[in-house]
Amino acid sequence: MKACSIIAIIIILLFIAGGVFAGYLMNEFYLIAPEEGAPAVTLSVEPGMTVSEIAARLKSAGVIKSETAFLVFVKWTGTDADFKSGVFELTPGTSLARIAAELTADEINLSKATIIEGWTIRDIGFYFENKAMFQAEEIFEQAGLQAVDYRGAEIENPAEKWKAEFDFLADKPSAVSLEGYLFPDTYYFYGDATAEDVVRKMLENFDKKLKPEWRAEIERQGKSIFEIITMASIIEKEMYGLEARKMVSDIFWKRFEVGMPLQADSTVNYVTGKKTPSISFEDTKIDSFFNTYKYPGLPLGPISNPSSEAIEAAIYPTPNDYYYFLTTPEGEIIYSKTNEEHAANVQKYLR
């Protein structure tokens, strides 16, 4: 083959390669869009960060595929000097043009929301209402709170729609709400976020925080995610600290296995709305399937939205010989093996 022919072929191949590369850049720059329902990533840009540092953070968070492509785009469009500091919500798979527009917007309209471990759906709803984002009832509806029948009747529940998006809800009974699954954490929402957006983000976070090894262990134990989250929600309210929570977890699971009432004050408080550390004798007689004094076994459903620590304790209890516990006014935990020992400890430490 003549040299001129070889050179011509090389030139053609270079043109083709260049065209392919140009097409790739054009796609990344302007054409690609996130998959429907893709979760957003919260990314912080601190004052003084260089464009290269921002690109590295975007790549690390999975928002962009190539730091180089991002740097080429912002340099080519002249937006490399216009980045703003702040907290942004960006969705992986978004075009570089859209990402650059988000990072250079004159006004960042994000609202910070911190959901406390152990809060209920009611707590969360009124928290957002107090932030003037939307009415508490909007959260209640999305989470199916109003569909809960404390007698356990099967009634229509609008929260059932979430099962189509999140497989960890598959074993949740249709008569109960999303209590337990709205993961407590710090979130950032745009000012126009709806109650549906908020609930979806919390469920997405729960999906991430429920580790694969935890799911495997739950299955190995022959339990359901719903049972674990229900137990974790009680542990969250009854005890503090991972070590103590794992001890109490074993006590509750042993009671559950032998058909003994859990007798958790927190489950009764969930019905009455009280915040007292101990309940009255009259309260123990309330006829509700959340009342673990009246009905053995787990309550109808979770009574709070538990932390990772409480979930871990529910999955990995510390084996012990105790069936009872109490916490003294000074915060000391007293364990007992028998009801007689427990009654004596109540007289000693709580009377």
Of the candidate CATH numbers 3.40.50.2300, 3.30.160.110, 2.30.40.10, 3.30.1490.480, the domain formed by 3-108 belongs to: 3.30.1490.480
Verdict on whether the full-model pTM lies above 0.85: no
Spatial neighbors of 5 by CB under 8 A, at least 6 apart, are none
If we measure between CA atoms, which residue out of 314, 137, 151, 129 comes closest to residue 235? 314
Alpha-carbon dihedral sign for residues 8, 13, 16, 18: negative
Residue 166 pLDDT: 97
Report the alpha-carbon distance of residue 324 to residue 322 in Å, rounded.
6
More confident residue, 267 or 152: 267
Per-residue confidence band for 125, with pLDDT thresholds at 50, 70 and 90? very high
- Max mean pLDDT among 40-49, 69-78, 141-150, 336-345 falls in 336-345
In the chain, what are the domain boundaries?
3-108, 112-209, 212-320
Report the alpha-carbon distance of residue 280 to residue 218 in Å, rounded.
35
- Of all residues in the chain, what percent carry a pLDDT higher than 70? 86
Segments of 176-301 assigned E as strands: 186-190
Report the alpha-carbon distance of residue 129 to residue 108 in Å, rounded.
21
Per-residue confidence band for 9, with pLDDT thresholds at 50, 70 and 90? very low
Spatial neighbors of 200 by CB under 8 A, at least 6 apart, are 162, 165
Mean pLDDT of 129-143: 93
